[in-house]
Homo-oligomer: A and B are copies of this chain.
Amino acid sequence: MTTAPPERGHHGPLRWINGTMPEVDERALKVPVVGFIEYCLRGIGQVVFMNSPITGAFILLATWLQEPWLGFGATVGVVASTLAALALGFDRDAIHAGLYGFNGVLVGLGLALFLSPEWDGIVILWIILLSAVSSILMAALAAAFGGAWGVPPFTLAFNITTLLFLITALHITRGRLGEAIAPAAPQVNGPGVRTSLRESADAVGNTDVVAVINAIFRGIGQLFFCNSLLAGVLIIVGIAFCSRIAAVFALVGSAVGMLTGMALGADGVLIYNGLWGFNSFDAALAIAGVFYVLTWRSAILGVLCAIFTALLFGAIGSIFVPWGLPALTLPFCFGTLTFVLLKDSSKLFEWVPPAKVVTPEEHLRRSHQEHAMAASGNPQRQRDTA
């Protein structure tokens, strides 16, 4: 979710696949269709704050391997939302950085999962329409959040669009709601919580190493509605191409989410399937390196944000029970929003404004450079970059 143009600075052959890949961007944008594909892929990568077409390609691959219908939904979603932004004349640089793709790809995936049947014409129509709507909402929210607070709206546009449609679908005949949406009355310990980690409510399973590894990697995959080890691994590899720091904190965040769920005594079936991890991993990654320069302090802040986000996951899931709605990535949005709003409250953390976000590695390099300059008595330059 950066609006910064990819920056030069890398050298050697690795620069073609590492970081935000500005050289690729420059060349791709000259060829119409290639350019479009490139920034659609960047849009997919932006869900995890990676402005890299390689990250996007790995994630897209994971969704297609998980289930072609999911991959199709993702593809249609990112294309429709990006086209809508182009048609409405939104800022080209933002579109090229993938900022009008990351909500769309999630809308496509979410509707592909929650509506049914698969490959249905009306469902596909909903994906196209609502992905486009997500771009309108993204522009409005970006203006509102950026103007008043200088922070991005994260994936709020996806959440609002998808949740409002799912709830509308309860009362219309063409809603195509799948069985996962099941309204119920809230009650204390309602669904009969089972606290040992297991794949499904009926299966045996316990808190062993295999279950924990599943929970962590499925937690990565679940951000893209992919409930499998393989998807999690592919996504981590994709992230690592752009940033190794981000990949590490993705895993840390997913683990923290899982541990928070276990500490709370949440349902082990949900934990095993990564549902306590996907919000926390994106939150940890955002705070520890992307929006705050990585230090041991901001690493701790990222872990705290992952815990807070996991608590929000529990809360939002409970709030939505009467309508049977999923929490989607609302916990991530509110959790990360809370922690980025701390930017001016403490001098312990070095804030990276949204317009200057690149990769955690690049932020570290810049920060070191600035401190070195400040130490060598060049306050002028320091002031310029502040």
Q: Complex Cα distance A281/B23, Å?
A: 48
Q: Complex Cα distance A164/B315, Å?
A: 5
User: Do B264 and A172 touch (CB < 8 A)?
Assistant: yes
How many copies of the shown chain assemble into the complex?
3
Taking CB atoms and an 8 Å cut-off, the chain A residues in 284-328 that contact chain B are 304, 308, 311-312, 314-315, 317-319, 322-324
Most buried by B among A148, A164, A346: A164
With contacts A164-B312, A171-B267 known, what are 6 further pairs, Cβ within 8 A? A91-B345, A137-B338, A140-B338, A143-B345, A147-B149, A183-B186
User: Do A140 and B341 touch (CB < 8 A)?
Assistant: yes
Contact flag A315-B173 (CB < 8 Å), given A143-B343, A181-B188, A188-B183? no
User: Do A187 and B193 touch (CB < 8 A)?
Assistant: no
A interface with B by C-beta (< 8 Å): 88-91, 133, 136-137, 139-144, 147-149, 163-165, 167-168, 170-175, 177, 181-183, 185-191, 193, 195, 263-267, 304, 308, 311-312, 314-315, 317-319, 322-324, 337-339, 341-349
Q: Complex Cα distance A308/B171, Å?
A: 17
User: Do B142 and A149 touch (CB < 8 A)?
Assistant: no
Which residues in B have their C-beta under 8 angstroms from that of A142? 345
User: Do A323 and B136 touch (CB < 8 A)?
Assistant: no
User: Do B183 and A171 touch (CB < 8 A)?
Assistant: no
Name the residue of chain B whose CB is nearest to the CB of A177.
B188
Contact flag A136-B318 (CB < 8 Å), given A174-B264, A183-B188, A267-B171? no
Cβ distance A305 to chain B, nearest Cβ, rounded Å: 9
Contact flag A348-B187 (CB < 8 Å), given A143-B341, A149-B144, A311-B164? no
Which residues in B have their C-beta under 8 angstroms from that of A315? 163-165, 167-168
Q: Complex Cα distance A147/B343, Å?
A: 12
Name the residue of chain B whose CB is nearest to the CB of A301.
B88
Contact partner of A345 (CB less than 8 A), chosen from B90, B185, B263, is B90
Cβ distance A83 to chain B, nearest Cβ, rounded Å: 14
Closest 6 CB pairs of A and B: A173-B265, A168-B314, A140-B341, A174-B265, A89-B348, A164-B315
Contact partner of A175 (CB less than 8 A), chosen from B168, B264, B304, is B264
Contact flag A149-B149 (CB < 8 Å), given A89-B347, A186-B323, A344-B143? no
Contact partner of A304 (CB less than 8 A), chosen from B136, B139, B147, B171, is B136
15 residue pairs bridging A and B, Cβ less than 8 Å apart: A88-B346, A133-B311, A141-B341, A142-B345, A143-B344, A143-B345, A144-B341, A163-B315, A167-B315, A171-B314, A172-B266, A173-B193, A173-B195, A174-B265, A186-B323
Contact partner of A136 (CB less than 8 A), chosen from B133, B165, B308, is B308
Cβ distance A96 to chain B, nearest Cβ, rounded Å: 15
Q: Complex Cα distance A168/B188, Å?
A: 10
User: Do A172 and B314 touch (CB < 8 A)?
Assistant: yes
